[in-house]
Structure 1
Amino acid sequence: MEQLTTGAGVSAAGKQDISTLDGWQQAGKWFSYGGHAIFSRMAGQGEPLVLLHGFPTASWDWSRVWPMLARHYNLLTVDMLGFGFSDKPRNYRYSIEDQADLVQGWIEGLGLPGIHLLAHDYGSTVAQELLARDQEGGLGFTVDSLCLLNGGIFPEVHNPLLIQRVLGSPLGGLISRGLTRSMFERNFCRLFGSRNPPGQQEMDEFWHLLTYNNGRGILHELIHFMEERRCHRNRWVGALQNARQPMRLISGTADPVSGAGMVRRYRELITDADVVTLRNVGHYPHFEQPWDVFTAYRAFRKQPGLS
């Protein structure tokens, strides 16, 4: 892969400081995908664990659970095209398949023979596409396990917020360009459970990531993934049903978009479903309750054949 730039946020002790959003960015690297700059982060040691983020946020979502996971695994994550610190081109045909191409090319370029996947929301759908390709023999590496957090993996029970529905409508471009901070906060905060709602600093960080590189102007283009989920439902749900790899779902059941209903559907459709539910936790369990997510994931990886 073509390397563009490298930054490193260094603390007084000589270690990268990722406790702030600026430190997270400075500790990252960029590579080129189709002429566009893609932000990535890598840290830790052990087996490769690829973390895939959700919509409309970025890899920063993983920052609270990152130090815990990095003690056990070689962590790799990206801001997918159109998100976070990566480029956000206008008039681009954003799609789940294209994001899967990005992730696949990145991993193959790193020469990794196999990876484990931990994915959330939008990233869960990218993971489903990668899983389908793995089953078809279309990857240059193996997917050795898959752990999913809250996401619309079954479109028939996905319950998007009104603003998401409007963004996907013919009015989406106007709403996207006219999105205000107060509109964003009002809708975004609805996704969180009662145990740990985001504070003002966290909202500042999420808003900065959203608006970086004029990100508001493309939200209506990114959100076509909801229609893609419906169009490719059989392929992506089938990938989960046909998976030979160990899988686990960790779900915040207070999520109004993809919480308890998604858990019920997962148990209906996935044989011997492995599910961990987190009460009073919303759509971002890894940000709301990172310790609970870490312990649930660590227990998953300690199962026979995965440790």
Structure 2
Amino acid sequence: MEQVITNATGAIAAGRETDTLEGWQQAGKWFSYEGHAIFSRMAGQGEPLVLVHGFPTASWDWSRLWPMLLQQHNLLTLDLLGFGFSDKPSDYDYSIEDQADLLQGWIEGLGLPSVHLFVHDYGCSVAQELLAREQEEGLPFRIASVCFLNGALFPEVHNPLLIQKLLRSPFGGLISRGLTRRSFERSFRRLFGSQNPPDSQDMEDFWHLLTYNNGRGILHHLIQFMEERRCHRNRWVGALQKAKQPMRLISGTADPVSGAAMARRYRELIPDADVVCLRNIGHYPHFECPWDVFSAYRDFRKRLAP
């Protein structure tokens, strides 16, 4: 099944109803993982819906969608280790598997028997790891459904930006530590579609989250997830193909990294693929056109209702 949405409506109006970045931080709570502080936010009532962000950003990505989802869901989100307002240790062995341990332990610690996952980019790989674990050995909770947003689910059609390639190179440490606001902004803006690009305040917020707690110094460590995707490709793609729970991919097809080609590959490899394409929208659909993403997600969840 495929749906195509051509016009992103209500993006700016809906987005401006959200909190400021400072307010987002003040409303959060921290918990400990392996001795490190992890930022989280929880609010709402209903079935638990866990939101997992992408690279190199943070849970703030969900801020424009948050007030819409809050009406019907118990929302939970966090800044993964090394991202946003969470700790960013410089001597840590960052990996998707470790981030999955973090997320799994958090959900288990909250005593939640079942969760729905809504994941973006890097978070898609974390979800794939959790699906694989569920199928192989079981989890202490049930994954009721998964909705993906512009993630590199199939590394063979992932098209990384030049800055991502440089961060993975032997010079990655120098590139990471020497990253300037101007070079970051130039690369980051390429990820967005033409209809709703980030404004100056948005870029200030993204830069603040990136550099908080010396975040520039670890980007070359975090980026190694691209190699993990390659190494775990068969296991993680197999987890999608074997999944029993409902899944949907919402794809901003103007995304130069994991847009239209990723959506095509999803339809090729996933049985009864459920895909919603957002034309003229880039890598951050939930930030660019939150109302359209909300509508697509609401439709997905309505179909799951008994």
* Pairwise TM-score range, normalised by the shorter structure: over 0.9
Q: Give how far 1:137 is off.
A: 3.4
Q: CA deviation at 1:138?
A: 3.0
RMSD across aligned C-alpha pairs, in angstroms?
0.9
The within-5 A match list for 1:68-107 is: 68-107=68-107
* d(CA) in 2 for partners of 1:41, 1:134: 25
Aligned partner letter, 2:118? L
Task: Encode CA deviations 1:81-109: one digit per residue, 9 max, x unaligned.
Answer: 00000000011100000000000000000
> After superposition, where does 1:118-267 map in structure 2 within 5 Å?
118-267=118-267
TM value normalised by structure 2: 0.94
- Which residue number corresponds to residue 7 of structure 2? none
* CA deviation after TM superposition for structure 1 residue 72, in Å: 0.8
Residue correspondences, number? 290
Instruction: Quote the Cα distance in structure 2 between the aligned partners of 1:197 and 1:18.
Output: 17
Q: CA deviation at 1:135?
A: 1.2
What is the TM-score normalised by the length of structure 1?
Answer: 0.93
Return the offset for 1:18: 5.5
Alpha carbons of structure 1 residues 113 and 34: separation in structure 2 relative to 1, 3 Å: same
Assess if the C-alpha contact under 8 Å between 2:18 and 2:64 holds in 1.
no
Q: CA deviation at 1:19?
A: 1.2
Unaligned runs of 5+ in 2: 1-16
Identity %: 78
Structure 1 ranges of 4+ moved more than 4 A? none
Q: Distance in 1 between matches of 2:287 and 2:100?
A: 24
Whether the 8 Å contact between 1:30 and 1:40 is mirrored in structure 2 is yes
Q: Does the CA contact (< 8 Å) of 1:37 and 1:86 recur in 2?
A: yes
Runs of 5+ unmatched residues, structure 1: 1-16
Change (3 A) 1:278 1:18: closer
Partner of 1:276: 276
Q: Structure 2 counterpart of 1:161, which letter?
A: L
Q: Specify the code of the residue in structure 2 equivalent to 1:148.
A: F
Determine the C-alpha separation between the residues in 2 that align with 1:139 and 1:213.
Answer: 32
Residue-by-residue CA offset, 1:131-181 (whole Å, 9 max, x unaligned): 111112331000000000001110000000011001011010000000000
Partner residue, 1:298: 298
CA distance in 1, matches of 2:153, 2:210: 23
Would you say the 8 A contact 2:38–2:78 is kept in 1?
Answer: yes
Distance, in Å, in 1 between the alignment partners of 2:240 and 2:18 is 34
